[in-house]
Structure 1
Amino acid sequence: MSLNRQINKASTMKIARNDYSITTRSMQAMESMLESDVGLMLDFDKTVTAFTTQPDSLLNHAKEGNWRQYTPDLLVMYGSESKFGETKPEARTHSDKFKQKYALHQRIVREQTGTELELFTEPDVHPHRLIQLRQLKAFHRFEAIPTLNQQIIQFIESRGGVAKLEELESICEQHNAWVSYPMVMLAHQVIRSVAPNVITRSTVVEVAA
């Protein structure tokens, strides 16, 4: 799908920006920082096969109520299933006005597309996890080395299931790979950080499930 709603106004709450999605391998137009953060989380969600921002608008052909059209913020594909998504600051979701409007949007999406509308707020986007994902996004473009992956996995398992990144450097050197290669494994979710903190050489990792 192509961008349906033109984004040309920015404020402290809405910041127009374009982000590259590693899932879709394309630029996605973001309407806010929250939307950008949600997109980053979706990029690293293994259940997500694709997503697009500002997809098709849903029109009020029946002239019901006082709305003309509704454009969801996202369309997310989970394999053969798809859901539309709406991003909203959590503080704004408690008002009766929002609840009524969101209920209307849910009904519009369900009646016109047969799918559900999913709400994304800040609690869905862990700030520490975001820091990690921003670090890893740049490493996702590098291809994994299966033989090296296996050696590192075996080493981690031999150490009781956990190891520090700095302990993996010698294995990388033995394979003539750069010492930062474990970041590629983290980006491809072959291994994962035990704690949601900034990734350093002292970060403890384990084999991803």
Structure 2
Amino acid sequence: MNFTSRILYLLLFLFLGSQVQAQCPQIIGGDGLPSNNPRWVSCSGGAFNLFIQGNQAIGSYIISWGDGTANNTGASIGAAGFVSHNYAAAQANYTVTITETSTGCVISGTVIMEEAVNSAIQIPLGGVTAVCAPGTMSFTNASTNVSSNTNFIWTFGDGSAPVPFNSTNAGAIVSHTFQRNTVNCVTTVTLSAENFCSFGTPTVASFNPIQVYDIDDAQITASAT
């Protein structure tokens, strides 16, 4: 095989490989759009029925549902057909893997089951809501419907940077030291919380009044007389 023939053979190989790759189906996600990484979000708090449907016919397949139940196998899924699976009520994320065994194509998607998080702040037992600066106060993250996808942001109303936390902050006590000359006596502490079921609109809890006082510095100045 001469050099030119080798080049032509390589180009043909690459072309055929790209054609096989182009034939891989996409799966319709929860947004109604075909995707190589579909996502389905259930915010009901109850069971969820998932429908697997491609943007084209799917050949012989294996579907792993990710919840410990048996795989689903079949000879094909028609262009307008689907395969369904029922997930029991839970707060969880599941990885769904669809393998088209006839081509080797693999599509992975995610099922997210949660409810919209509700942010809430409490003062821990024995806590205070007034200090002389510099002074430390503690706050409890009392948010509900917290899933593993939840993100929190605390702001303390004293000009300090917001403090982000992941879902493990739920139920935790967060302490903050208020410095002198950062609060004009009264301020508000806020906690925002967001997960997939918030759909881009976090819930925000506020706690007020938070009272922060500066201790006056006594000074004596000699009189001129």
With the length of structure 2 as denominator, give the TM-score of the two structures. 0.23
With the length of structure 1 as denominator, give the TM-score of the two structures. 0.24
More helix by share: 1
More strand by share: 2
